[in-house]
């Protein structure tokens, strides 16, 4: 039987020696051709490769701003992954209860959006600004009452964030095993 590398007059073999992964890919194509026919190997594999490459490249704009120390970006990445999964269920209708799954994922997305946007105490800060002026770290407070107000707002925000984070963790733990097709 003639292999794909035989059909390329050796140029593929020379190029594949530089990268073992490419050599494995060619071997997989040859095995696929033997099992499924050359049409499958020649048409399906390149199409699959193109789709995977396109998928990976679609993540580049999202990953570009990520830093390993940025916990907020962990939530941004998770929200994007959930958005893509939800859209997949809505567009493909692969499972019977796709609408229920899409709603469960949307709830997790919305919780992540609240955590990312961090708007838990915006109204409290607005009231604080009206009463005391703009708050700046390191600025001397106008008194104990303002310090207590800042402390109260900070504690309220931390409690709301923690509640959402716990809800998100519990929600994903309960539902994630059903979020596949």
Residue range 11-22, pLDDT digits in tens: 444 444 445 566
| Predicted pLDDT of residue 161 | 96
Report pLDDT for 26: 66
Rounded to an integer, the average pLDDT of 155-169 is 97
End-to-end Cα spacing for the chain = 38
Coil, strand or helix at 141? coil
Please give the model's pTM, rounded to 2 decimal places.
0.69
What pLDDT, in 10s, does the model give residues 88-101? Answer: 999 988 888 999 99
139 has pLDDT over 50: yes
CB-based burial label for 112 (10 Å; 0-12, 13-18, 19+): buried
């Amino acid at each position: 039987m003639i292999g794909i590398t035989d059909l390329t007059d050796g140029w593929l073999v020379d190029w594949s020696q530089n990268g073992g992964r490419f050599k494995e890919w060619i071997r997989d194509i040859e095995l696929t051709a033997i099992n499924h026919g050359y049409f499958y190997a020649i048409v399906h594999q390149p199409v699959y490769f193109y789709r995977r490459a396109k998928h990976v490249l679609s993540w580049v704009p999202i990953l570009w701003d990520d830093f390993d120390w940025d916990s907020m970006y962990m939530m941004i990445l998770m929200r994007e992954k959930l958005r893509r999964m939800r859209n997949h269920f809505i567009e493909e209708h692969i499972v019977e209860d796709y609408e229920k799954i899409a709603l469960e994922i949307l709830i997790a997305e919305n919780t992540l959006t609240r955590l990312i946007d961090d708007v838990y105490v915006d109204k409290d800060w607005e009231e604080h600004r009206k009463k005391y002026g703009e708050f700046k770290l390191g600025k001397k407070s106008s008194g104990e009452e303002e310090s207590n107000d800042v402390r109260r707002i900070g504690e309220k925000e931390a409690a709301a964030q923690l509640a959402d984070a716990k809800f998100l963790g519990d929600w994903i733990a309960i539902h994630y095993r059903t979020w596949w097709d």
